[in-house]
Structure 1
């Protein structure tokens, strides 16, 4: 076991910024209004299974199609960069149709365990031990579950402007993470 707080902490923060569950509270509130109910337990469980499974088989899938982890990490840094720009500038670069129900599909995937999260997990695998990433995933899923359960209260307390400020702060953090991810992995390609 290579459990290390010096790996768990940054991995947890990176996933926290990418998942951006606090920034997703307005989307969650909208889904709840459309569907009437969100199954927080099921969404959190399915998202964690997707993330942990991708941690183990994601690299094999990449090898199958002939891509190394460094290339995927560099590509992932671009995705994180554009996600950060969306968060900071309040623009939408990627348009996805709003789901009609708050089932597992829109909530667990792609809202929680989306492309940015899965890319980050593989990128983290290039830098950290697997067990530390699993702890980071579990810590984030616990937080996601708490946020899903209390999204109505959070919206009332923070208001729309408070949520917007938090989203921009995490956007800047995510931008810094994207730059670090790019600079760390680009040398392995050159």
Structure 2
């Protein structure tokens, strides 16, 4: 049970629902308000399918490219650390990107904002360390949590304001930094035992 809760929390934090609120708001600004919910559901569903695909194809992916589990853990930790540092030391809560089309499709919402490199690495690492059913359940629960946060992005943005969103983003970043260091140390420990 502890492994399941830990996996849910880790995946949900890496998906960074609160940190993605400003990005989702910016990407959906030009979308008609009545279409926003549909677009969000579509993008979140695509992200979930990608993560589930990595869950079941991750082992094959590692073998096909000759990647060891400890390498994935270390690389995932480094990527997560870089993303976390950006969250903690970010000076802007509003993104610079301006979508050219009114309705984003897959990029940038599904990939890389929700199903980004760190999230996919965490899913693959979890699948290597725990039974697939446990990781699948964790991915589903984390996706529901993330979806609930992002579905409330416009009301939450109004409620929290720019400073509130920035504070939540920095707190999430600090937690992710600790998790990334743990991932790197775990990978190093596994390598040393070989």
Q: Distance in 1 between matches of 2:131 and 2:142?
A: 17
CA-CA distance at 1:41 after TM superposition: 1.7
Contact 2:16–2:146 (CA under 8 A) maintained in structure 1: no
**Aligned match of 1:25:** 21
Q: Runs of at least 4 residues of structure 1 off by over 6 A?
A: none
Superposition map of 1:1-190 within 5 A: 5-36=1-32, 37-38=35-36, 39-90=39-90, 98-101=98-101, 102-190=104-192
Q: Which runs of 5+ in 2 are unaligned?
A: none
Q: Distance in 2 between matches of 1:41 and 1:151?
A: 13
CA-CA distance at 1:149 after TM superposition: 2.2
CA-CA distance at 1:124 after TM superposition: 1.8
CA-CA distance at 1:96 after TM superposition: 9.4
Aligned CA RMSD, in angstroms, stands at 2.0
Q: Which runs of 5+ in 1 are unaligned?
A: none
Deviation string 1:143-173 (CA, Å, 9 cap, x unpaired) is 2222232211000100110011111111111
Contact 1:85–1:91 (CA under 8 A) maintained in structure 2: no
CA-CA distance at 1:89 after TM superposition: 1.0
- TM-score between both structures, scaled by the size of structure 1: 0.89
